Amino acid sequence: MTYPLGSILLILDYQLPTIVKDKFFIIVGENKDEYNLLSMTTSQIYFDPALIKHGVIKDREMSLYCFEQGRIIGRDGFSFNKNTIVSHRFNIHCFTKEKMAGLNIQFQDVLLKEELENLIYSFYKSNISNKYKKIFEHILTEICE
């Protein structure tokens, strides 16, 4: 299956280092052989809850993007049922299309254009590797035209 940029995916029975659980991902890039995905870090809040708002949150050394509970972020009305966080550090994954085909994936929705722009821009502005900066710069150029 082919997934458009901004696809919100739920991968069932995803193997994490110590447990297997269902995990949300968002497609933020694609090339011939692989997808770039962001993993939703957690719905558990490990910082001052007073800082929770939709979008970028900065707290001390942390830089995060928050999808606020109940806020519609998908073209077909998708929203997370809990505040859901993605950290700007260590949450970009590359999965080959072959690996994706072997996973139990439930397509949920596609991010609204403005939401996708804001999410990718937040990563572009954060302290990520040049490899991903170039990918995100290219994607921003495409979607902001």
55-59: strand order across its sheet: 55-59, 62-67, 84-87
Contacts 24+ apart (CB under 8 A), 41-46: 41/85, 41/86, 41/87, 41/91, 42/84, 42/85, 43/80, 43/82, 43/83, 43/84, 43/85, 45/83, 45/85
* Domain spans of the chain, in order of start: 7-143
Express each pLDDT in 93-130 by its tens digit. Answer: 889 999 999 999 999 999 999 999 999 888 888 877 78
* Banded pLDDT at 43 (limits 50, 70, 90): low
Query: What are the phi and psi torsion angles at 73 (to 5°)?
Result: -120, -10
pTM: 0.88
